[in-house]
Amino acid sequence: MFLIAGFAALIALPATADESSVQLKKAPGLDKVEANCQACHSLDYIPMNSPFPNAALWDAEVTKMIKAYGAPIEDADAKAIADYLKSNYGS
Amino acid sequence: MITRRHLLGTAGAGAALALSGLNPKFSEAEAAGASLTPGVPSGVNSVATMEALPGKKPLIKLSYRPPNYESPLETFRTAITPNDEFFVRYHLADIPAVDAKTYKIAVGGDGADNPVELSFDDLKTMPAVEVVAVNQCSGNRRGLSKPHVVGVEWGYGAMGCARWKGARLKDVLDKAGLKKEAIEISFNGADGPAVDKTPDFIKSIPAWKAVDESTIIAYEMNGQPLPHWNGFPARIVVPGWTGTYWMKHVIAINALTKPQGGFWMNPAYRVPLGKFPLRDRFITQENATSTPITEMVVNSLITSHRDGARVNAGKLVVSGIAWDGGYGISSVQVSADGGKTWSAAVLGQDLGRFAFRPWSFNLAARKGKNTVMVNAINKLGQSQTSELIFNPAGYHNNVMQNITLNA
């Protein structure tokens, strides 16, 4: 519970002014990307790693964020995030 | 679609056009003046900007948080990289400002008889040594991998060379009573993850490398305190080895009788076993298929010209730098005819075997296209590769450059 609460507090922090200049493509799932991914990293990581990843690679990246880096992302959100990445930043 | 050559040849004009809204095809990166390395994923164009972190000159921003900023090509026209142009690389986003007055390094572990705590002053009163050494991110040039692999998509600039001053790690370990059973020395820095479940960035090196006379805990960089973004107040310097072991803001050093575990030792920072011609091995961390990245492969960079540059026909000086894992550069070979014939470049000042070695080459540029290639050779006889040795993390890219100069 403590971890979840701590996580919520973190994502409530405003992004820095510079960081807010990163604009991802407006498409279904962007809200889940913003609510989860930027708890740990700025969103420029996504376009930087594009458009080369295929669907399997984007799935693997989302799984890595959860399994290796411990991102507390719910299953439904993880699927929405992966779908967004495949549709907008995939090959 | 803008071709790579066109983009490079007209970046300045493109920026002006983009700012005036006349040519929306030019990317934001160009508008902000970031000249990217040809071959990085096209998406890098949409996020890379020239931006200055506090205390730094504008560098090529690849990611804001954690901060990953690479040095532009022009930075490497001198063998020593200025502190305010030195690249910045972090894995984790919680980066505290460390106060040197209260700073402590805890030295211990099960491989040490006498755990000690060192203050910044303690460190500075120990015998000081200096070493000029290249700090290169393991993933430098990852953006040039074919096929592309995920990670920070560095071009040429995730590296720098500085004169580091500090205390020998061996002397610090001796204070802590290093046992002969110790096989690895691990490091932790003050920076940490944004969420608790992300593995903290902890790295180890073999005990034999830790007690090497060149391995130091540096508190000065080019005669100045370390910039915050490069590890103030002190960082580990492991000359010859890639930057992953050069722990910034180091606060814990542990002598270990068992191998260091954790994500950042395995699966991260590994290369397939046997793929690279490396002498330094990290045996206690090897498994059947992979081994930790260790020493840098021999490499070079043309710094006088970008690919596609316009030059005048006739006499021309092409110059750059070469470096390796600490054996020293013995020769730099240059070809002006696409690899058919090669001649030796003139080597510049030798700042030591771990430093960038400047080189220059007098070329007779012919009218039309001149294809210039460079191949550095070290004192072990190792040279650069003509084809990429692909590996999943995009490490050790020392493919010879092949640039076109148009006269």
What is the reported pTM?
Answer: 0.90
Fold of B299-406: Immunoglobulin-like (2.60.40)
Split into its structural domains, chain A has a count of 1
Summarize pLDDT for B289-326 with one digit per residue, the tens. 999 999 999 999 999 999 999 999 999 999 999 999 99
Helix (H, G, I), strand (E, B) or coil at B374: strand
Q: What percent of chain A has pLDDT over 70?
A: 81
Q: Which of B47, B60, B149, B263 would best serve as a mutation to test chain A binding (most A beta carbons within 10 A)?
A: B47
Residues of B with Cβ-Cβ distance to A89 under 8 angstroms: 43
Chain CA centroid to CA B367, Å? 36
More confidently predicted of A4 and B337: B337
Burial bucket for residue B25 (CB in 10 Å: 0-12, 13-18, 19+): exposed
Of B66, B153, B194, the CB nearest to A48: B153
Residue B14: predicted pLDDT: 33
Residue B32: predicted pLDDT: 56
Q: Which of B44, B149, B197 would best serve as a mutation to test chain A binding (most A beta carbons within 10 A)?
A: B197
Give the gyration radius of chain B's Cα atoms. Answer: 22
Tokens of B329: 């550069």
Mean pLDDT throughout A26-38?
Answer: 97
Please judge whether B43 and A49 are an interchain contact, meaning their C-beta atoms are less than 8 angstroms apart.
Answer: yes
Q: Is the pLDDT of residue A13 over 80?
A: no
Of A3, A51, A68, the CB nearest to B263: A68
Nearest C-alpha neighbor of B280 from the set B271, B269, B293, B270: B293
Low-confidence residues of chain B, pLDDT below 50? 1-28, 31
Please judge whether A19 and B65 are an interchain contact, meaning their C-beta atoms are less than 8 angstroms apart.
Answer: yes
Strand B104-108 vs strand B250-256: parallel, antiparallel, or unpaired?
parallel
Residue B211: predicted pLDDT: 98
Boundaries of domain holding A8: 2-14+26-89
Domain layout of chain B by residue ranges? 4-78, 104-292, 299-406
Tokens of B49: 């900007």
Fold of B104-292: Sulfite Oxidase; Chain A, domain 2 (3.90.420)
Q: How confident is the model at residue A41 (pLDDT cuts 50, 70, 90)?
A: very high
Q: Model ipTM? A: 0.90
Q: Are B229 and B67 in contact (CB under 8 A)?
A: yes
Q: Is the pLDDT of residue A4 over 90?
A: no
The verdict on B42 touching A (C-beta cutoff 8 Å) is: yes
Q: Which of B56, B61, B65 would best serve as a mutation to test chain A binding (most A beta carbons within 10 A)?
A: B65
Contacts of B264 (CB under 8 A, 6+ apart): B91, B199, B201, B202, B203, B244
Summarize pLDDT for B197-245 with one digit per residue, the tens. 999 999 999 999 999 999 999 999 999 999 999 999 999 999 999 999 9
Asked whether residue A21 is assigned to any structural domain, the reply reads no
Asked whether residue A20 is assigned to any structural domain, the reply reads no
The verdict on B1 touching A (C-beta cutoff 8 Å) is: no
The verdict on B93 touching A (C-beta cutoff 8 Å) is: yes
Of B62, B65, B195, the CB nearest to A70: B195
Please judge whether A69 and B199 are an interchain contact, meaning their C-beta atoms are less than 8 angstroms apart.
Answer: yes
Asked whether residue A19 is assigned to any structural domain, the reply reads no
Tokens of B96: 């505290």
The verdict on B261 touching A (C-beta cutoff 8 Å) is: no
Q: Are B300 and B322 in contact (CB under 8 A)?
A: yes
Residue B141 distance to chain A (closest CA, Å): 14
Residue B94 distance to chain A (closest CA, Å): 9
Domain with A46 in it: what CATH number? Answer: 1.10.760.10
